[in-house]
């Protein structure tokens, strides 16, 4: 009987000693990449379909600021373009008369040239015909230059209006509030009907599908850890309840820092530690700020 009791006590002592050994290398808290969405245009929020906890897909429109004034300006730009288009001269029609006169003057010049050669007309008549052709040619050149200048000016004005219209349409597009990433709405800062200015935060969202745990390790541990290394991550639900996930080391800090008071490392006596991140795919149970533990796998592949 005494022998059986001694055996039981020995087993309990061994179990107690075994429980004192840590089955993790580092602890930390779960984080997600957070994005704050701000207003890109000033105006009243005529629609805002955002609630905390909503899952939003990237590119989904969730709100709209008042577009009335911008739309009226776009219409004004369209009317201005129509005015400039109507002011464009019909170059060929305006030059047709002068070109016809020049063609006739050249015919007269040729006729007088033949008459003078035959001695049937004085040379002065040929000189007058040549002079008339020269005058009409200069008139035509001047008209072409004037018309080209008018067209160039109107084209420049139209280009300016096109740029202004493009700017307005870009501002109109920015009135549509869209989600920049896939994620969950964490916080909502405004309500429908409020007036918002450019840059005012509207809501905060985070990708809660791809999360990471930020943990801290000592320099002694760091020599066996590298980016890309596989690790086991445990989400701590309290009362000894944990859930295991596969993780990958994605970032290691290049500088040391003092041990955070809330973090326990493998060597609690170390004053300086290094932060790192281990990425995990969330199945919906991991929450931002939840505590977790990390167990690192082998840092080197066989043969290295």
Summarised one tens digit per residue, pLDDT across range 16-66 is 344 445 788 999 999 999 999 999 999 999 999 999 999 999 999 999 999
Q: What are phi and psi of 282, to 5 degrees?
A: -80, 135
CATH node for 36-67+175-206: 2.40.50.100
Cα separation, 50 vs 63, in Å, equals 8
User: Mean pLDDT, to the nearest integer, of 295-299?
Assistant: 74
Render pLDDT for 100-151 as a digit per residue (tens, 0 to 9): 999 999 998 898 888 888 888 888 888 888 999 999 999 999 999 999 999 9
Calculated CA dihedral for residues 229, 234, 235, 241, nearest 10 degrees: 180
Q: Is the distance from CB of 189 to CB of 201 less than 8 angstroms?
A: yes
pLDDT of residue 217: 92
Cα separation, 225 vs 179, in Å, equals 36
Cα separation, 54 vs 50, in Å, equals 7
Q: Is 104 helix (H, G, I), strand (E, B) or coil?
A: helix
Exposure of 71 in the CB half-sphere (CA atoms within 13 A): 5
**H or E element in which residue 170 lies:** helix 123-174
- pTM, two decimals, is 0.69
Q: How confident is the model at residue 272 (pLDDT cuts 50, 70, 90)?
A: confident
User: Mean pLDDT, to the nearest integer, of 193-213?
Assistant: 96
Q: Can you give the residue ranges of every domain in the chain?
A: 24-33+207-296, 36-67+175-206, 69-173
pLDDT of residue 196: 97
**pLDDT(12) > 50:** no
pLDDT of residue 201: 97
Render pLDDT for 66-77 as a digit per residue (tens, 0 to 9): 999 999 999 999
Q: Find the distance separating the first CA and the last CA of the chain, reported in whole Å.
A: 56
Render pLDDT for 184-196 as a digit per residue (tens, 0 to 9): 999 999 999 999 9
Q: Do domains 24-33+207-296 and 36-67+175-206 have the same CATH topology?
A: no
**pLDDT(6) > 50:** no
CA 167 to chain centre: 17
Q: What are phi and psi of 173, to 5 degrees?
A: -65, -35
- Averaged pLDDT score across all residues of the chain: 86
Tokens representing 53 are 């906890």
Place of tokens 């809501």: 203
Better-predicted residue by pLDDT, 33 or 266: 33
Q: Which CATH superfamily is domain 24-33+207-296 in?
A: Efflux pump adaptor protein, beta barrel domain (2.40.30.170)
Name the percent of the chain lying above pLDDT 90: 67
Q: Is 11 helix (H, G, I), strand (E, B) or coil?
A: helix
Q: How confident is the model at residue 264 (pLDDT cuts 50, 70, 90)?
A: low
């Amino acid at each position: 009987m005494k022998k059986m009791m001694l055996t039981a006590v020995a087993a309990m002592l061994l179990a107690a000693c075994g429980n004192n050994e840590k089955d993790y290398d580092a602890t930390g808290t779960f984080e997600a990449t957070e994005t704050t969405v701000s207003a890109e245009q000033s105006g009243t929020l005529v629609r805002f379909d955002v609630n905390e906890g909503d899952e939003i897909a990237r590119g989904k429109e969730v709100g709209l600021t008042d577009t009335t004034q911008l739309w009226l300006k776009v219409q004004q730009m369209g009317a201005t373009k129509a005015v400039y288009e109507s002011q464009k001269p019909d170059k060929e029609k305006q030059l047709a008369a002068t070109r016809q006169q020049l063609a006739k003057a050249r015919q007269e010049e040729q006729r007088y040239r033949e008459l003078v050669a035959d001695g049937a007309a004085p040379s002065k008549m040929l000189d007058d015909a040549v002079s008339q052709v020269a005058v009409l040619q200069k008139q035509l050149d001047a008209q072409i230059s004037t018309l080209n200048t008018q067209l160039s000016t109107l084209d420049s004005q139209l280009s300016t209006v096109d740029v202004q219209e493009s700017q307005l349409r870009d501002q109109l597009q920015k009135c549509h509030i869209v989600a920049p990433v896939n994620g969950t709405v964490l916080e909502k800062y405004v309500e429908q009907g409020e007036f918002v200015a450019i840059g005012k935060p509207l809501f905060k969202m985070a990708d809660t599908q791809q999360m990471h745990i930020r943990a801290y390790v000592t320099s002694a541990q760091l020599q066996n850890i590298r980016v890309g290394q596989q690790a086991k991550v445990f989400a701590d639900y309290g009362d000894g309840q944990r859930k295991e996930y596969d993780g990958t080391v994605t970032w290691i800090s290049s500088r040391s820092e003092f041990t955070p008071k809330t973090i326990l490392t493998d060597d609690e006596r170390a004053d300086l530690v290094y932060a790192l991140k281990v990425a995990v795919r969330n199945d919906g149970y991991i929450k931002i700020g939840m505590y977790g533990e990390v167990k690192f796998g082998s840092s080197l592949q066989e043969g290295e």
